[in-house]
Structure 1
Amino acid sequence: MSHWVEVNDVTIERIRRRLTECVRLLEIYSWVVDSFVLDFFLDSHWSHLPESWCNILKHCSPQTLASLLDPNIPADQKQVWPLSLLAFKKSILSLSLSRKQVSDFKFVKAFLDSTVLNERASKKSKQDSPKANFSEIETGLKVEDEQNSNKMEKEKFCFFEDMLSVLEKKNPTLKQIFRKHVKPKKQYELARLGKFTYDILNQINVNCLIDVGSGQGHLARYLCYSYSLQVACVDSNKDFTDSARKFDIQLEQSFRKLERRGEHCLHIPHTAPVHVNAWLQPVMDLQAFHSILSEKFHIYDTSLRYCILGLHTCGDLGPVLIKMYAQDTKATVLNSIGCCYMKIKEHFPMSLFLRGVETRWKLNYTNAELACHAIEMYTERLREGEEDKLKVHCYRAVLEKFLMKKDPALKHSILRTVSRAHTLTFLEYAVKATSKLPLGIDPLEFDTEEIREELSAWWEVVGYYTLRLALAPILETVILLDRCVFLYENGFRSLLIPLFDPIISPRNQLIFSAKN
């Protein structure tokens, strides 16, 4: 099975069926995805599960529990799972998107080639006589493609183990320049997405891109100074823009310092990153926006073709960029990786198809937040024998019930984060967690049989948490496939690609599209 999904004329019906089945599954288990684990004791979540499920979850090993999240982890063969739980696990596995990162992206070249092929075939059918057929055109183009592919560098459409290290082999002194102010997770993301973006744009001869939600401009600088692309940083936050300009200046100063010392260095591009403060909306004045970009890029408006790039666009910004791509004839390529789905307020569902599916299930803050969880990191804790660290879920659930008894107004209060909570007693945890609340706690209040019994049920809380987390990939699948179906409905094919290692970067799915 491919790690990626292509949405086109051939696959669209399968995609729609998959979307429908995902929604049906969420409808069946809406009581799970719409619940809060911190209400475990308050709302008696455990009693809502089938008895056969409770017997398995209560007595299973951490590895068996992890197998519910990862099919590659073997479950305990001594335990016989009920068919309904096996069906639950199998349904999630068959419907959800693969999250295993792709090792290369040569398949994207085939996607681009077929896009060009369709365009050339369409043009030729209009120019030639009716006798011209697609197979003749395809044969000629295949020869041409084979000749061109022989000239491509070996690393084309491939990732390196560590792309920043590859850059260091050309210029070891650049390591600190590109990593300054950038956390390791971000370094990994910008290097991998940067290589992907450069190879794609180089293939279709597009040199301009807008990095939307660019923040402090780390990705933009990498694309600009490593790959000589023309990049416009678009962000609505002026403070971020000011910081990005400051870091641009620091980077150029570092380059010049190296040059004065006579050290080999990458050349400063003719056009450094440019910055635009704007709030993008699908209904915005595109002509005015094009004028700004043309001025910034120093090119004529008629020559403007650009890529829309969004790395971890928060909430509604991801759908806004997709709609902008669909409407803007100048936007030639889309690279979009979303995050913070719980902040979506007005752009779901996007597709006409999903709007037409009759269902009682609705996307809300609670289940959309679940779609953002780092499921692989949680699985690792179970598999590596670190399940004790998960006791905090039980601590929080016990504390929630206690707070509600004290004052119903304290329901779902934001508590202080307690580090290494699993090493503390519940009393120590409770005192630290509630330190910012106007609440006095008498230690004797926790010395009750009821609380001791609840604390002893911590593995049941972990089991319920895992069961709920198992549905997180289905939620994300619905959100992302809906966006791809929207693109298809507007005439654009797309690819959905797990670009990042989900342990490093949990929101790892890239929506890619390119116009003819």
Structure 2
Amino acid sequence: MLLASDVGLDLVKSKIKCLTEFLDIYLRIANVHTVDFYTKDVWNEFVAVPPETVISRLRCQQGGSTTEGIGVSVWDQSQKLRDVAAYMRVTQDHSLPNLGVCTLLDDLLQEVWGDKQKDMFLKTSTFMNTKKSHEVEVMSEVIACFAKYCNIKQDSMMVGLHTCGDLASNTLRIFITKPELKAVCSVGCCYHLLSEEFELSDDSKECCQGPWGFPMSQFLRGSVWRCGRNARMSACLPLERVTTGHGLPSESLFYRAVLQVIIKENFGNGKTYNRLQRTNSKHVGKVYSKSSSFVDYTRKSVEKLGMDGSKLSDSLIQGYYDRYMPRMKELEAFNLLKVALAPCIEGLILLDRLCYLKEQDNVAWSALVQLFDPLKSPRCYAVIGVKK
């Protein structure tokens, strides 16, 4: 029996094409690294309106598409963002929930499971936190549902809950190559850890010779498409949480961006700084949470990066903080622009995985299903497949 709630390969390919054409223009925002925000004067390079305009627009208009801005160009003649309402409309139109390719969980369960009572499933709230309990309870029902559908008793089903980076892609490949696997239900995460076949990075080529984590489908590989690590990091940003008051850690991001200015202006000609830039070793880790002030943060970070901080006085460090503090809203507003793009980039990654399954001769049915409440679990989509 073939499930009625099936989405055709041609439709998936058309939505992938729609997303790649959109991201060809907008991906440059997502690929900005927060570390370089002030050293490269990102705000003035990309945005033509005050940060307060972006913040107010994004916070009040999230949650539904707006007709305001239709027919208005997002960009001005110098390719800077000038109309936030139009930006919001176009990002929402290209986000995964609005592309018309996702299968509704309730419809799917009703079709396969019927009126089976849910109270038979394990209640995990007594020994798991709210997030994990929510995930396990929902996913256990889906797994039981498809085990019944595929008549799985002794043969196996591949299941992955928040499989990191390439593990999500490899889960689908294992499902395809192992005949004893009758179904798959995979929820991925950590898109920034995916290996990209066409990423312009020598480091990525050295660490992985394939099979690559992205792209998976022959359709997307044929277009030699790449996202870039910063865009994949942007895909992990929790849109629903940010727009309901659980914002990004703005101060820690601000600290790191100002630290980069200090490093560039005080160690710019040194061997240590050149090594730092060459190897992309920009990570200071969790120094922020262990610091009492920006001065303390800077001293700990400089030491961790192997630099000589003796020439940096406390007053010099504090001076940098005072200089950039009035511009902190620029960083906050730009990160909100990246957050709005997150569902679009995530959508491309997930549709590529769905397309990969639909390209396989031994797969009878496959779908992209939102399993979890995104407020509880931002990585909430599952790629589900059933063998012939």
- Which of 381, 385, 388 aligns to 1:513? It is 385
Tell me if structure 2 keeps the 8 A contact 1:8–1:488. Answer: no
RMSD: 3.5
- Which of 314, 317, 320 aligns to 1:446? It is 317
What are structure 1's unaligned runs of at least 5 residues? 114-148, 166-174, 208-303
Aligned AA for 2:228?
N
Match of 1:352 in 2: 218
Q: TM-score, normalised by structure 2?
A: 0.76
Aligned AA for 2:124?
L
Match of 1:268 in 2: none
Determine helix, strand or coil for the equivalent of 2:262: helix
Match of 1:190 in 2: 136
Aligned AA for 2:37?
F
Match of 2:173 in 1: 323
Cα distance between partner residues in 2 of 1:24 and 1:102:
24
Is 1:405 equivalent to 2:275 in the alignment?
A: no
Match of 1:499 in 2: 371
Aligned AA for 2:230?
T
Tell me if structure 1 keeps the 8 A contact 2:27–2:227. Answer: no
Spell out, residue by residue over 1:183-227, the C-alpha distance to the aligned partner (whole angstroms, 9 max, x if none).
4432332222112212331344213xxxxxxxxxxxxxxxxxxxx
Is 1:367 equivalent to 2:225 in the alignment?
A: no
Q: What displacement does 1:443 show? A: 0.8
Change (3 A) 1:435 1:319: same
- Which of 152, 155, 164 aligns to 2:118? It is 155
Q: What displacement does 1:314 show? A: 1.6
Q: What displacement does 1:104 show? A: 5.4
Q: TM-score, normalised by structure 1?
A: 0.58
Cα distance between partner residues in 2 of 1:106 and 1:455:
50
Change (3 A) 1:337 1:6: farther
Cα distance between partner residues in 1 of 2:105 and 2:371:
9
Tell me if structure 2 keeps the 8 A contact 1:333–1:512. Answer: yes
Q: What displacement does 1:502 show? A: 1.7
Match of 2:22 in 1: 25
Q: What displacement does 1:414 show? A: 1.8
Q: What displacement does 1:467 show? A: 0.9
Cα distance between partner residues in 2 of 1:486 and 1:102:
17
Q: What displacement does 1:318 show? A: 1.4
Tell me if structure 2 keeps the 8 A contact 1:398–1:454. Answer: yes
Determine helix, strand or coil for the equivalent of 1:336: strand
Is 1:391 equivalent to 2:354 in the alignment?
A: no
Cα distance between partner residues in 2 of 1:201 and 1:71:
35
Change (3 A) 1:490 1:453: same
Is 1:307 equivalent to 2:157 in the alignment?
A: yes
Tell me if structure 2 keeps the 8 A contact 1:395–1:455. Answer: no
Change (3 A) 1:481 1:7: farther
Change (3 A) 1:437 1:81: farther
Match of 1:66 in 2: 59
Cα distance between partner residues in 1 of 2:70 and 2:293:
35
Q: What displacement does 1:483 show? A: 0.8
Matches within 5 A, 1:37-116: 37-51=34-48, 54-55=49-50, 58-60=51-53, 62-67=55-60, 70-72=62-64, 83-84=73-74, 85=83, 86-98=85-97, 105-110=106-111, 112=112
Change (3 A) 1:488 1:413: closer
Cα distance between partner residues in 2 of 1:30 and 1:153:
44
Determine helix, strand or coil for the equivalent of 2:288: coil
Change (3 A) 1:103 1:31: closer
Matches within 5 A, 1:235-384: 304-345=154-195, 346-357=212-223, 362-381=226-245
Q: What displacement does 1:468 show? A: 1.7
Change (3 A) 1:420 1:21: farther
Aligned-pair identity in percent equals: 23
Cα distance between partner residues in 1 of 2:65 and 2:252:
24
Please, which moves more after superposition, 79-88 or 15-24? 79-88
Cα distance between partner residues in 2 of 1:6 and 1:474:
23
Q: What displacement does 1:65 show? A: 2.8
Q: What displacement does 1:488 show? A: 0.9
Aligned AA for 1:326?
I
Match of 1:206 in 2: 152
Aligned AA for 1:397?
A
Q: What displacement does 1:460 show? A: 0.9
